[in-house]
Copies of this chain bind each other. A is one copy, B any other.
Amino acid sequence: MSIIRALETSDIRFPTSTSLDGSDAMNLDPDYSAAYVRVLTDADDGLEGHGFVFTIGRGNDVQVAAIEALCSHLVGRNAEDLLAHMGATWRELVWDSQLRWLGPEKGVMHMAIGAVVNALWDLKAKRAGLPLWQLLGRMSPEEIVELVDFRYLTDAITPDEALDILRAAVPGRAEREAELLATGYPAYTTTPGWLGYSDEKLVRLAKEAVADGYGMIKLKVGGSVDDDIRRMRLAREAVGPDIRIGTDANQRWGVDEAIEWMSRLAEFDVAWIEEPTSPDDLLAHAAIARGVAPIPVATGEHMSNRIMFKQFLQADALQVLQIDASRVAGVNENVAILLLAAKFGVPVCPHAGGVGLCEAVQHLSMFDYVAVTATHDDRVIEFVDHLHEHFVTPVDMRNGCYIAPTAPGNGMEMHAASRAEYAFGT
């Protein structure tokens, strides 16, 4: 038996605003940051569980404070018990009746639970000697369903329906694991498309993306429609007709503005329009989806919980679902969202980039491929090429694909030296 002896937190911030990496129509000068947590036990194995919430600078200290508020739930507890019953562990954290008032299930407190849940999964995977995607992908359908809290979901998916989906994907699991290890999971890249980049840099990076094997790139839009038309034309000329080009407005518009703006960009063969308006506004997304069809609407990176995802699916308010590794309450909630997407037949194309989000979210798409949908048709994981060097197991990109990681854990562990160097305020 081992005991959780501490949750150690750090406030880590990279000064990315100086280069305008990550700049878009709403996020003009992000400093990519992580509210980071290590779960430490008294076991002799030396294993630690790592997790974090990605933020873009100011407020990262508030996010750290929220993670620390969870210490009283976990410190002193039996680690084997918590890790053996991750469904119950998740419920205990999310349903703390006093902390719940601070959401419920949204914002700073919910993301803090996500960091801790992800760190526990990291520890569980390291103890099992498996990368998270394999640990999850080898669980039985019954074990997977037990991870999910179906409260507020059963009007869209029941535990029995989830079991049916998972059981149908049991045949072929091993072959799909082997494929992911050999050739990986398809990616697209946002590296060329930040709003703060010059036209020359956009064109150069777009051509590099094609040369590197990517079948899709994405451009930030929503600053000025004339600029967007010029940049889309340059990008389309740079990549040719066969590469998909997505667009991302980062919540910039209302309904009418979104429809009008996208009518101006439609000639460039747009793969999707991402976050056209407030991430809370499913009725507006549904109206926009009708107005911009056949361009699909993509969203999810700011969606606060499984209940919002459920409604977007019920209302046909998104046609591409974008999970994020650190926005919701960790692995368990993302499993719920993957099951919802499978039920509705909507492709999941995760949000990544930031700090370590690529390293983390690939595990979820690979689990989805192995054990849930058994397909990656129409599915791509976002890739942005910066800050990977700070991670113990950086992503391995080959020919526009994420090659499946083999190191045990969830991918979120940052080098100790990087954590020390970028510790904020020290």
Contacts and interface: CB of A to CB of B under 8 A. Distances in A.
Number of copies: 2
B155 A99 contact: no
B31 A98 contact: yes
Interface in A231-248: none
Interface string A349-385: 0000000000000000000000000000000000000
Interface residues of A, number: 61
Interface stretch (A161-169, A276-284, A335-343, A396-404): A276-284
B281 A152 contact: yes
B59 A102 contact: yes
Contacts of A110: 107
Contacts of A61: 65, 69
A392 interface: no
A254 B154 contact: yes
Contacts of A283: 155, 311, 314-315
Nearest to A23: B97
A118 interface: no
Given A56-B97, A97-B27, A283-B315, A255 B106 contact: no
A85 interface: no
B66 A108 contact: yes
Contacts of A99: 58-59
Interface string A65-85: 110010010000000000000
9 contacts: A26-B97, A27-B101, A55-B101, A58-B96, A62-B102, A104-B278, A106-B304, A154-B255, A155-B287
